[in-house]
Structure formats: structure tokens, C-alpha cells
């Protein structure tokens, strides 16, 4: 069962990784992205920690009420670094700007993630004092992440938010 998220403000983050353009109908693209990224992770210098980041960049004008499996977005497999002075060949950097995030915990296998997303975007966000902010959304696979098929796996879901405009 999902509970209300923790709300925090982050400082800018520097990410190094690989990205693709994909949609929800092509989960094999995400699998291929991670298979391409993981063998080269040891080449990345100045890693901040051992966490893995799955990052989504949605079009800035996105309306999640119209989001469907054909909606395209940019997907990243990345790690956070202290500095990006040396980036391995074939990889690139992404700057995540400072701002507020709502942090949820997804429990269980990846196949159940649509239920978590439905709660966040279908229930919590519309009924909160926040709107989705046009910044990267990401999941952190940290020490409690046990793999995409593990029923005991946990990952943090970071949703960029801003206070709703009041008139």
C-alpha cells in the first residue's frame, strides 16, 4: 500500500549514462538500455554512490491525463557523479536542476509498477497541492533494490513537483 510521499528539495545533480527515446509499449527498449549500460558502469569516474538511476524526460507540455502507451519520452540509465570532467566514450551527461520532489516507494516487481504510477498520477497528484513540474522524473535503485522480478524489491520514485498556481 502506498502512503503519502516525503517532499524534499534537491540541489542540482550531475548524471552520466546512456539514453534512448522510447514509449510504454516497448519495455524491451528499457531492458536493452540497461544491458548496454551495466557492463560499462565501472568506467564512470567520480560516482557519488552505488545507486542506479532510471530517468524519464517527458515533453515539457505533457498532460498526464492524455498519457498513453504511445507517448514517447527519453529514458536514461545513469549514475550520479560528483563531477563530469571525464565521460566514458559513448556516454553523455544530464543535469538535473534543483527543485522539489515527491518521493514514493515502489514495492515489488517491475510488472506492478503501473499500479504505483496510477496511484501517483491518478490519485495523489490530482488531489494534492502540487502539479507535475517539467523536470526529470526518476527512480533510484539503491540497496533495497533486488531486481526487476523480485517481490521484495524496493525502489524510490522521485516525481518533480511545483505548487499549484492559485488565482
Q: What is the DSSP string of 113-129?
A: HHHHHHIIIIIITTTSS
131 burial (CB, 10 Å; 0-12 / 13-18 / 19+) is middle
pLDDT score for 63: 66
Reported as a single tens digit per residue, the pLDDT across 124-154 is: 999 999 999 999 999 999 999 998 889 999 9
Domain count of the fold of the chain: 1
Contact yes or no for 141/55 (Cβ under 8 A): no
Give the residue with greater pLDDT, 156 vs 114: 156
What's the mean per-residue pLDDT of the chain? Answer: 91
Q: Which domain holds residue 140?
A: 6-163
- Quick: pLDDT tens for 21-39: 998 778 889 899 999 999 9
For residue 1, being part of any structural domain is answered with: no
Cβ atoms of 80 and 47 closer than 8 Å: yes
> Is pLDDT above 70 for 2?
no
CATH number at residue 29: 3.20.80.10
pTM: 0.92
The helix (run of H) or strand (run of E) holding residue 31 is helix 27-37
Say what the pLDDT of residue 25 is.
78
pLDDT of residue 153: 95
Is residue 78 in some structural domain?
A: yes
Amino acid 167: pLDDT: 64
pLDDT at 64 > cutoff 80: no
Report residue 40 as a C-alpha cell.
560499462
Assess if residue 132 is contained within a domain.
yes
Amino acid at each position: 500500500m502506498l502512503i503519502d510521499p516525503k517532499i524534499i528539495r534537491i540541489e542540482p545533480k550531475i548524471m552520466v549514462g546512456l539514453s534512448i527515446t522510447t514509449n510504454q509499449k516497448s519495455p524491451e527498449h528499457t531492458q536493452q538500455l540497461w544491458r548496454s549500460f551495466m557492463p560499462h558502469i565501472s568506467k564512470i569516474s567520480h560516482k557519488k554512490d552505488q545507486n542506479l538511476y532510471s530517468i524519464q524526460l517527458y515533453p515539457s507540455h505533457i498532460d498526464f491525463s492524455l498519457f498513453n502507451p504511445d507517448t514517447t519520452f527519453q529514458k536514461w540509465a545513469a549514475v550520479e557523479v560528483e563531477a563530469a570532467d571525464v565521460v566514458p566514450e559513448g556516454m553523455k551527461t544530464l543535469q538535473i536542476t534543483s527543485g522539489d520532489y515527491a518521493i514514493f516507494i515502489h514495492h515489488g516487481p517491475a510488472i506492478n509498477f503501473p499500479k504505483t504510477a496510477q496511484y501517483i498520477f491518478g490519485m495523489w497528484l490530482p488531489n494534492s497541492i502540487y502539479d507535475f513540474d517539467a523536470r526529470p522524473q526518476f527512480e533510484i535503485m539503491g540497496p533495497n533494490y533486488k531486481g526487476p522480478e523480485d517481490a521484495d524489491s524496493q525502489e524510490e520514485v522521485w516525481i518533480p513537483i511545483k505548487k499549484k498556481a492559485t488565482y
